[in-house]
Amino acid sequence: MRLAPFGPNSLFMISVLALAVALIVYQWLHNRSETEKLFRYYVDQAQLSALNGHDNKAVSAWRDAIENAIALGDNPKLIGNLYLEKAKSEIAASKALTKPTEVETSRQQIIGDIQRALTHYQKDSFTTLAQIQAQELLLSILPVYTERFVSDEEQVRIDERRATAEKLLKEGKQSEALKVFTEVVIASKGLTRAALEDDIKQLMTRRSNPRTNAEELFPITSALFTYQICASAQTTVEEGQSLNLLLDQALKASGHAKDDYQYLKKLGDRMFVKANYHGANLAYWRCQALKDSAEVREHLKFCYLKLHPTKTEDSQAAISAVVELIRLNVKAFGQDSKQVTGAVERHAELLESTGNFEEAETRRRTVFDRIVADKSGQPFYDRYGQIISDPARQAEDAIMKLYVTEGKFKEALAWYRERQPQSDQMTEMDFTFVDLCTKANWLSDPMLEEVIERERHD
């Protein structure tokens, strides 16, 4: 079958179509060129703004750069990098925020941008190091709770309550003063401790008052032990002896011995039911010093979680992030690498903060074993890039601290006796031992003298 030859009209139509296509291609290329120029402009503006400390402008410029990169159909790695840079600028900008709602809104935006970066990175098989960087950034803001942060508004209320407590103390109303002082110490998370030193000493001088109810003393004593910020082991021991003596005398005045396990357990349970977690903590600590109990340790864990709250959603996200970080570090650096050891330690910290103590113990011991087995001769670094002078000793101390947190006092003591520092200098493990003895009321332990003697030689 023969095709009909093109006629004039057909040739004209083909010409018109070719011209239309050419115009479309030209327009597309022109638009792309303009979009590319805008992209480069916004990236340049974002970088300059970030360098000059104009963080909010940097955030806005990174946002525009991302929009243009997506319009250009750029590769996933580039877009992931842009989202990560935007998140870094948002973190810098958030430092100027003061209202909790603004801080939280900003934090959620940062989390979202890091997760968007990860989504793009995962489309490219050659982004392992970039993914590690993103997971590290995500972990830096998850979970969120600050142990000693007190806002300006809270400080005003704390100061007012402290003035009330001092007034009550001068009026001889010791019981009422104790309750308010307890509120002050707990609300300030120990930061008012030094300012309250004279007031605490006044309470010490009245410790023989038989009318003092032992139960009233447990919360403030527990809070002072929890938020210890003393400058030296000797000061901590001396203060611990004074506070424990006060407690022992109050127990005796109420007809109970300091080592009456049944009464201490009953007292702890009563305060626990009343949600008086600081007071219950101390009663349970004393119980654990006398006899280990799985039930008491469960109650201690509950108290710990109530006194160290984390957002469940954030905690789960953080644990997922660190598990992924371990996998990525294995892929990038190898199973036996220091990077994997550091990630496993982060996992242990997160498990501990969420009350998963048994699993945290396993992870802590894994970290210790990996450090001992390391024969590379290369230093270990912390997450801030600082060299760890004695990583094995630090890992040992972390295990002992976890035992103390769990209420496994006798295991903590055995761990310390087995690994007691043999140098003339104080170590973190020595301070953990002092903390243990203070909480367990083991302040007559002869090893405490050795610790204080080491401190004198420092």
Q: Is the confidence at residue 204, as pLDDT, over 60? A: no
pLDDT above 90 coverage of the chain, percent:
50
What average pLDDT does this structure show over 173-190? 79
Q: Is residue 43 part of a domain?
A: yes
The confidence score (pLDDT) of residue 208 equals: 44
Q: Is the confidence at residue 119, as pLDDT, over 50? A: yes
Q: Is residue 168 part of a domain?
A: no
Q: Which of 221-230, 240-249, 306-315, 320-329 has the lowest mean pLDDT?
A: 221-230
What average pLDDT does this structure show over 172-181? 80
Domain that includes residue 68, residue range = 23-139
Long-range contacts, 336-344 (Cβ 8 Å, 24+): 336/370, 336/373, 336/374, 338/374, 338/376, 338/378, 338/380, 338/381, 340/370, 341/367, 341/370, 341/371, 341/374, 341/380, 342/380, 342/381, 342/382, 342/383, 344/370
Q: Is residue 67 part of a domain?
A: yes
**201 or 218, greater pLDDT:** 218
pLDDT digits (tens, 9 = 90+) for 340-393: 999 999 999 999 999 999 999 999 999 999 999 998 888 998 877 899 989 999
What average pLDDT does this structure show over 421-441? 86
What average pLDDT does this structure show over 310-337? 92
Among the listed residues 287, 212, 204, the one whose alpha carbon sits nearest the alpha carbon of residue 253: 212
Classify 196 as helix, strand or coil.
coil
The confidence score (pLDDT) of residue 186 equals: 80
The confidence score (pLDDT) of residue 35 equals: 80
Q: Is residue 97 part of a domain?
A: yes
Q: Is residue 4 part of a domain?
A: no
What average pLDDT does this structure show over 142-169? 75
Q: Is residue 112 part of a domain?
A: yes
- Residues contacting residue 300 through CB under 8 Å, at least 6 positions apart: 281, 284, 285, 288, 406, 407
Q: Which of 57-71, 191-205, 228-242 has the lowest mean pLDDT?
A: 191-205
The confidence score (pLDDT) of residue 323 equals: 96
Q: What is the pTM of this model?
A: 0.83
Q: Is the confidence at residue 194, as pLDDT, over 70? A: no
Name the pLDDT band for 334 (thresholds 50, 70, 90). Answer: very high
Long-range contacts, 172-180 (Cβ 8 Å, 24+): 174/203, 174/206, 174/209, 174/212, 175/211, 175/212, 175/213, 175/216, 177/203, 178/203, 178/216, 178/217, 178/220, 179/216
The confidence score (pLDDT) of residue 14 equals: 66
Name the pLDDT band for 168 (thresholds 50, 70, 90). Answer: confident
Q: Is residue 38 part of a domain?
A: yes
Ranges of beta strands (E only) in 94-197 are none
* Other beta carbons less than 10 A from residue 318's beta carbon: 25
The confidence score (pLDDT) of residue 138 equals: 95
- Residues contacting residue 85 through CB under 8 Å, at least 6 positions apart: 46, 50, 62
Highest mean pLDDT among 17-31, 172-186, 209-223, 296-310: 296-310
Total number of domains in the chain: 1
Read off the CATH number of the domain in which 104 is found: 1.25.40
The confidence score (pLDDT) of residue 57 equals: 96
The confidence score (pLDDT) of residue 205 equals: 53
**370 or 241, greater pLDDT:** 370
- Residues contacting residue 376 through CB under 8 Å, at least 6 positions apart: 338
Q: Is residue 69 part of a domain?
A: yes
Q: Is-contact 371 380, C-beta < 8 A? A: yes
The confidence score (pLDDT) of residue 312 equals: 75
Q: Is the confidence at residue 110, as pLDDT, over 70? A: yes
For all residues of the chain together, what is the average pLDDT?
85
The confidence score (pLDDT) of residue 214 equals: 75
